[in-house]
Structures are given as structure tokens and as C-alpha cells.
Amino acid sequence: MAIHSSVLELIGETPIVRAQHLDTGLCEVYLKLESANPGGSIKDRIGMSMIEAAERRGDLSPGATLVEGTAGNTGIGLALVAQQKGYKLVLVVPDKMSREKIFNLKA
């Protein structure tokens, strides 16, 4: 098993599985298991892409504070990447967001 120096190296490196026991006709169907990303969803990729694009444009300075409106998984992806890259993150969430999601965002 490989040892990684950063959790960011795991984003997008999710397994692909050939679907079996499904009637796919002549086609083979492959499933990319994005739930295996560190934050648990495909939104980890989006969080990393957003932050890396801002870095490439020169929009972020070291320790910058990022602000994002979110209802869940995008915020989790951003929180994961921001923490690893040394950015602060302020998330604006809906009033009716579940306690579980808020807990995950704070973690």
C-alpha cells in the first residue's frame, strides 16, 4: 500500500470498478467510486480545482481567507483543501442545514 505525504494526493485517485450483474447489453459499464475521495464525494475535486485555479491566477496570498456559500459537500471539499494548503475558510450555510453536515464542515 502506498504512503502519501498529503491527503490532497488522494483526491481523484478513486478506484474504478467494472459493473457486474447488470443488464448492459453489449456495453461494459465502469463505475468511478468518487465516494472514496477523502471528503467522501466528487466535490473534493471541485474544491481543489477552485483553490488551485485561484492560486494560478495569483488571487490568493499565503494564509488568505476564503469565503464560500455552501449547502454541504462543496464546503467539505473546500475545507479539506484549504486546511491542507494553509488557508482560512469561512462558509456561509443555510439556516436549516443538518447538525451532522455542520459538524463535518467544522472538523
pTM score, whole prediction: 0.85
For residues 34 and 97, what is the distance between their CA atoms, to the nearest angstrom?
23
Pick from 63, 60, 55: nearest CA to 87: 63
Domain boundaries, the chain: 7-106
Given the residues 43, 88, 96, 101, the one annotated as active site: 43
Quick check: is 85 catalytic? no
Name the nearest CA neighbour of 77 among 104, 54, 34, 43: 43
The one-digit pLDDT tens for each residue of the chain (107 residues) are 789 999 999 999 999 999 999 998 999 999 999 999 999 999 999 999 999 999 999 999 999 999 999 888 899 999 999 999 999 999 998 888 888 888 877 76
Cα-based distances in Å from 105 to 53, 82, 86, 94? 22, 12, 16, 13
Q: Which CATH class is domain 7-106?
A: alpha beta
